[in-house]
Structure 1
Amino acid sequence: VGQIEFYNKQFPEQMLTLAGSLFFVTLAGANYLSTALANITRKVTTRDGHTSWLTDDINLGKLDYYFYFIALIGVLNLFYFLICSHYYQYKSMSLHAEESIKVHTKEEAEAEADANTWEVVEQ
């Protein structure tokens, strides 16, 4: 949900439909990548006559090693995400959205207070 919301807020208006489809393309790519990763792990771990980490008999395999490997890839992905998010430049917001979160400076607050004072005096 967060990824779709990010795409909808940060993509240009003309590319919003592409943003929705990009989510599903990345999901499909992730499924192909996980299948490739499992096949590569099987081939690499069966070298030299060893039993594969992902064998059909769960008691003979080393499934815990495979999940440690997946966790390591997840940690590396987290660091990559942190680097990318640090350098990301957000799309500028519209004036209407900025007005609702605008913080008044001290000078603006004093000017408003003076204007309110003059209104009270005139009445």
Structure 2
Amino acid sequence: MKAVIMAGGEGTRLRPLTCTLPKPMVPILNRPMMEHIINLLKRHGLNEVASTLWYLPDDVTAYFQDGSAFGVSMEYFIERKPLGTAGSVKNAGQFFTDTFVVVSGDALTDIDLSAAIAFHKR
């Protein structure tokens, strides 16, 4: 199953941390916030991950690259201008052919995604 991480915002409420660093790359326990999200996705069998990016996208793509170092396959959809929440997911539409999970790039959670997906499919 596939997932998309919406990670394109400027993170203005986290300034000055995000003046030169995109919000998904802000470190939490010595790892970028987005790495925690990717680990959650991977634990629940979501190993094909797309990320929508706009603000400082090179920081994210340089760190995660193709995702193999993190046990996933990564794909990136870089916006020329900010498309907003729904717009960014729509922009990544070619990545999806079936049910998929959408996660915010700043959502630190330990939700049981497997249970949520099973509930959705019922």
The TM-score normalised by the length of structure 2 is: 0.24
More strand by share: 2
Greater relative CO (CA pairs within 8 A, separation 6+): 2
Q: Between Structure 1 and Structure 2, whose CA radius of gyration is higher? A: 1
More helix by share: 1
